[in-house]
Amino acid sequence: MKLNIKKIFLTVPALAMALALFAQQPEQILKASGSPANPKVPISWNRYYDYAAITEICKKLAKSHPDLVKLESMGKSHLGKDIWVMTISDFKTGDSSKKPAMYIDGNIHSNEIQGSEFALYAAWYLAESFADTKHIQELLADKTFYIAPTINPDARDNFFHKPNNANSPRSGMIPVDNDRDGAVNEDGFDDLDGDGHIVFMRRKNPNGRLITDQTDPRRMISVGPDQQGEYELLGYEGIDNDGDGDVNEDGEGFYDPNRDWAWNWQPNYIQSGAYKYPFSLPENRAVADFVMKHPNIAAGQSYHNSGGMLLRGPGALEDLNTYNAQDVQVYDALGKKGEELIPGYRYLVVYKDLYSVFGGELDWFYGGRGIYTFSNELWTNYLMYNKAEGSNSQASQYTFDRNLLFNDAFVDWKPFKHPQYGDIEIGGFKKSFGRLHPGFLLESDAHRNMSFTLYHAYHTPKISVDEIAEKDLGGGLKEITAVIANKRMIPTHSSQDLKYKIEVPDMVSIEGTKVIAGMIVENRDLNITKEQKNNPSTIQVANIPGNATVTVRWIVQNAGKYTVKVESKKGGIATKSKN
């Protein structure tokens, strides 16, 4: 039979059109509560996306929602990749750079990849839910989101496209001589069987301290003091390529990007993982420059893995006094709400509940910029069975893989002839399991973490001119009193901001009348005021606390129509006019 190739190719567009007719139409769908039913950019949230795919998704969101999403590059990675950031706001309701903003990033550690999917999900949800969700409409009218899905794109692609385990590579792609032998990248992981997975090596040894678990032969468990062993564990797949007696000890980029930030930074001999000096990594420098250029950022969250934690600083005991009582109250209220929204997650303090971290992103955002910031440590074994891990959490990973993932997460043990160790076996969990969400749990946890992020963003300052009162003083003079309210939890200046004068004060001005005197009203009942003698028409207010008000007053002459205007870098702009 002779095929007409030209005719076949001509019918492909027609075939595509025919297939589209069988796609679900709006009238065929019952919208599930809380989820976009017919998104303009359909995305499957049960998988992970490499840098090229992330770039494509970001561009599609910006193209499909031009009134809500704008895409730009914050800078370049070490290998020249754009570090994308999306600005998401209702651009029709005002200048996005003048609205209180939430900054979100993900994937600072290259093996913590779901941070990117979680950040992307937040961007996608905001854009796709805007059309029919009132809360999202109101949120984007008031706020701006800056969302950077991956701030370590080079190493993300390394994790995706090269053999790795769940813990590698943690850092970036700048070569580092970790064993100080004068060479880099001369050792490291070797995919012995070429299957794309870096798993464990074990060798039979009656003097070893491991045996196979009778309930699951894939699992290795320690023997008791009076038991004979069966195996010894040799570590991850690899070969001693440089002949120094160690395997996998010198690879590519063994520094920690989350020890590179310019707050309480310490060199590598104190803080393992630190690089040359603060912001010596181009990716972190790009983030810092972006944040410095956007003083409207009042809140931040950085998506990491794992452990199911909502972390705040300080990272080290030495920095304890940086987080004072007023700001801790805000953090506590937000963190406790996060525990409620994300079952299995715990609100913790880094230095107290985990370990010391010097030069961390979390502390720079708060300590250096006065921004209320959390690190979301995504994934917890609690999610496997919706209950606490208990004393045998490792065993539950095996049962979870067997019963819910159908053994898809594990590479079965098999024999291999190692050039140095001889007869060994290789096997173990794939890089996509242990720290990363299984597909069917990815969207659910992304949504819950996003809900916490949106709650945090909602409580960035919302200022308004609540009241304007006039009093006739005679002689053509009037006393005008204005009450300025902040109707959200977060103040316009954190205590850290006030302590170091990081951001300029809030400005409350009156326009349209001649001002004789201006003052802050410290006690309205007792008529206690503090006059501002310079430029009295624009009162400088140090801070508008959360869920509170400040009162200002002017003595004016010949008051006709006038406008009271409030301008705050982190609180936005509010005006009210009176005839």
3-state secondary structure 327-377: HHHHHHHHHHHHHHHCCCCEEEEHHHHCCCCCCCHHHHHHHHHCCEEEEEE
pLDDT at residue 12, as a whole number: 46
pLDDT in tens, 113-170: 999 999 999 999 999 999 999 999 999 999 999 999 999 999 999 999 988 899 887 7
365 and 407, same structural domain? no
Give the pLDDT band of residue 289 (cuts 50, 70, 90).
Answer: very high
Residue labelled with tokens 């944040």: 291
Contact by Cβ (8 Å): 491, 461: yes
Q: What is the mean pLDDT of residues 227-252?
A: 83
450 and 350, same structural domain? yes
402 and 343, same structural domain? no
Give the pLDDT band of residue 348 (cuts 50, 70, 90).
Answer: very high
What is the SS3 assignment for 530?
strand
Is 90 exceeded by the pLDDT of residue 267? Answer: yes
333 and 286, same structural domain? yes
Find the distance separating the first CA and the last CA of the chain, reported in whole Å. 87
Evaluate whether residue 164 is within a structural domain.
no
Evaluate whether residue 174 is within a structural domain.
no
422 and 306, same structural domain? no
Tokens for 96, please give them: 């996005």
Evaluate whether residue 176 is within a structural domain.
no
pLDDT at residue 246, as a whole number: 78
Evaluate whether residue 163 is within a structural domain.
no
CATH of the domain at 553: 2.60.40.10
422 and 361, same structural domain? no
CATH of the domain at 319: 3.40.630.10
Evaluate whether residue 37 is within a structural domain.
no
Structure letter (DSSP) for residue 31:
P
Give the pLDDT band of residue 46 (cuts 50, 70, 90).
Answer: very high
Is 90 exceeded by the pLDDT of residue 9? Answer: no
pLDDT at residue 392, as a whole number: 66
337 and 196, same structural domain? no
Cis amide linkage into residue 536, ω under 30° from 0? no
414 and 526, same structural domain? no
Task: For the chain, give the percent of residues with pLDDT over 90.
Answer: 80
Structure letter (DSSP) for residue 481:
E
526 and 476, same structural domain? yes
Domain count, the chain: 3
Give the pLDDT band of residue 240 (cuts 50, 70, 90).
Answer: confident
Closest to 144 (Cα-Cα) out of 106, 115, 116, 103: 103
Is 80 exceeded by the pLDDT of residue 559? Answer: no
pLDDT at residue 433, as a whole number: 95
**Residue 341 domain boundaries:** 54-158+261-379+439-458
Helix (H) or strand (E) holding 157: helix 153-161
332 and 300, same structural domain? yes
Beta strands in 223-369 (DSSP E): 231-236, 297-305, 309-312, 346-349
Evaluate whether residue 371 is within a structural domain.
yes
What is the SS3 assignment for 312?
strand
Evaluate whether residue 48 is within a structural domain.
no
84 and 149, same structural domain? yes
Supply the pTM of this predicted model: 0.93
Helix (H) or strand (E) holding 550: strand 548-557
Q: Are strands 144-148 and 101-106 parallel, antiparallel or unpaired?
A: parallel
Tokens for 112, please give them: 């913590």
pLDDT in tens, 55-64: 999 999 999 9
Evaluate whether residue 6 is within a structural domain.
no
265 and 374, same structural domain? yes
Contact by Cβ (8 Å): 148, 119: yes
